[in-house]
Structure 1
């Protein structure tokens, strides 16, 4: 059942903690779009529930994460004010709601995700005296930008890191970047690779069947990409690369799976470049493993990325990948070994790499097989949940004894 904090008061009765496993609450800004951070959160909730933990979720309204988390057995608290866009009034309301939840639900562990929920959730948990506070870094929203937003974000992260027991990075390269940015003391930074449910990533339909359903029987090469349609993903560069390849490959098709605010721009740019008939915008789909099987090449043009969850799924499918060399992508893609890397904001480089894989099918097969092995070695969801559960247990084992804990929590609330 979904619970809305609404007018929760600090005097609300607190439920008794269940015997046995701790209660773990995950906090994330929005349930929609159902992107990498949301999928990571859901897999963690599902895995913890199977291991006997009491799991709860606090998130913004709408989207797939809420019903799927409930189906996994999580108690869901919808915090209407917990939205992605900065808003002093909404943020104050979200903080109060999260603080009230921390007090009334008596969570043992609060685990936050992404920037806004990470800052508000960790502060609320610290003020309420939650015994263990963990945050996952899925990427750096302002790290490559300049100006006051970057400075404010970096300063806020450093302050809130003082109230955080561990900062989990979804890749080793991200952990090193977080250390270089001074996000948290090095001793608090740990790497836990964002896992994939390998069984759920298996396709259910044959590639030929999927191509027929999409009207792509005669298309070649079929270049695919999956992701939220936003500036950071830069799918317009894929459209521009397609225009550069159209003369060489008159049957080329670019298939973009995902929805978002960039859609209108992608439609306009495709028309301007005369490739509207070559670009398919599928919207958000729940059959991504089937779609991946229908692609000849997977391409990603992001200018900002974490490790890249959709990229990971494509590599697990054995697809040859072309991707921009940003943030944690190099954790998975070694140039000429598990894929091809190109500079960001360079449609010509994207086009050249796509053409190379289209022409050299032996290279494509070799890179695809190596890509699958790389993801299988690093990104098993069961290992991710085991690592997180072990982290929670270590942090809780190190907390003060129960009689000292009550005093410690009271002091934190006062302070």
Structure 2
């Protein structure tokens, strides 16, 4: 088959969506399928095909669309916030760009977010099956970041509509967790039959090779190493981790925590680190391409998210056999069983996270037991074979439904 994987967001980037697309592309190509990947370029000035370099300058589309959309709003709906106008313009531009790359040649389109799903559903050939994977909930994230101030606002009503149409504008929508499925049903009114839960998968064999690679880290002898690989954004909850580490410092000082990733909260977190006197204990390593190797040097993995779905970082920590300290945000409790494959604390509760970290530091047998049980769980649950078997079942079901529908016309 000729398959198009597409997302509104830029690729490649550091994050679960990019990892998922990369895994899916490699596995589909290994099966003999031809796969194109269409997305924003990292400079956000072009749309392009990652696999062949073909691109389209965004300005050529955006300038005329911008004039028309803003003109319409100024004439008919002056009260509409510029944030909403911008989101409309971005979706219309993505629609036009996708259409310019000839969608008729694909046997199946697999979108990766609510914007690309709605856009491609509107411009693809009617006969082409479209499957979506939704990797998170932008509406809820905007509430956490303060970009949307409440559910009574016009912004919320707009993004809620985006969530709904992004989930239903497909033949089938895949979600990685039951948590996200329930959220889409309960909060946004998506019909249950539109949604299929398929957890992510990772190439564990390839990951273990990267795990063994050498990496130099500034670690004092005898110090325990905490690893937190997560974008420096509000929903990852780093401020709660720093509060927990400040509490830990009052009890023990033989540890260091490495934060892997970048993001808009970096400066704020640097200020917090200084205020808490953690300069000798918390290191910001930025974006890295050797995360598995760094994880291999760690003693304890920690992720303090306040909203999350099915983070690849947890999957990789489990595959590495690391004891895990996490919050109960989103779909994480579907990945980690408290006291068996990790220790879980309530979202935003730094005191309990501190206690979990301290407990693992002081109990070698507990670290070993939880790490080994996590490793066995990862092998069983996160294989790419399982991911692709479930995904191909959805592909086949949707394609067959299209053939039945076409035959009845």
Q: Calculate the TM-score normalised by the size of structure 2.
A: 0.82
Whether 2:317 is the aligned partner of 1:318: answer: no
Q: 2:177: which partner in 1?
A: 171
Structure 1: where are the runs of 5+ without partners? 1-20, 409-415
| Contact 2:117/2:170 (8 A) holds in 1 | no
| Contact 1:112/1:122 (8 A) holds in 2 | no
Pairwise CA distance, 1:32: 4.7
Q: 2:361: which partner in 1?
A: 358
The separation in 1 between residues aligned to 2:38 and 2:332, in whole angstroms, is: 29
Q: CA 1:357–1:122 in 2, change beyond 3 Å: closer, same or farther?
A: farther
The separation in 2 between residues aligned to 1:39 and 1:138, in whole angstroms, is: 11
- Partner-residue secondary structure (3-state), 1:26: strand
Q: 1:201: which partner in 2?
A: 207
Once the two structures are superposed, the pairs formed by residues 60-139 of structure 1 within 5 Å of their partners are 60-62=40-42, 74-75=51-52, 78=55, 81=58, 86-103=86-103, 105-125=104-124, 128-139=125-136
Pairwise CA distance, 1:201: 1.4
Aligned length: 373
Pairwise CA distance, 1:184: 2.8
- Partner-residue secondary structure (3-state), 2:386: helix
Pairwise CA distance, 1:374: 1.8
Q: CA 1:42–1:79 in 2, change beyond 3 Å: closer, same or farther?
A: farther
Whether 2:164 is the aligned partner of 1:158: answer: yes
The separation in 2 between residues aligned to 1:352 and 1:403, in whole angstroms, is: 60
Larger displacement relative to structure 2 (148-157 or 239-248):
148-157
Q: Calculate the TM-score normalised by the size of structure 1.
A: 0.81
Structure 2: where are the runs of 5+ without partners? 63-82, 144-149
Pairwise CA distance, 1:392: 1.4
Once the two structures are superposed, the pairs formed by residues 4-403 of structure 1 within 5 Å of their partners are 21-62=1-42, 74-75=51-52, 78=55, 81=58, 86-103=86-103, 105-125=104-124, 128-143=125-140, 145=143, 146-147=150-151, 148=153, 149-182=155-188, 184-204=190-210, 210=215, 213-218=216-221, 220-400=223-403
Q: CA 1:310–1:93 in 2, change beyond 3 Å: closer, same or farther?
A: same
| Contact 1:223/1:297 (8 A) holds in 2 | yes
Pairwise CA distance, 1:343: 1.3
Post-superposition Cα deviations, 1:138-186, rounded to whole Å, max 9, x if no partner, equal 1222237442344333323333444311110112343333333345321
Larger displacement relative to structure 2 (177-186 or 317-326):
177-186
Pairwise CA distance, 1:386: 2.9
Q: 1:14: which partner in 2?
A: none
Q: CA 1:123–1:370 in 2, change beyond 3 Å: closer, same or farther?
A: farther
The separation in 2 between residues aligned to 1:160 and 1:129, in whole angstroms, is: 17
The separation in 2 between residues aligned to 1:46 and 1:37, in whole angstroms, is: 14
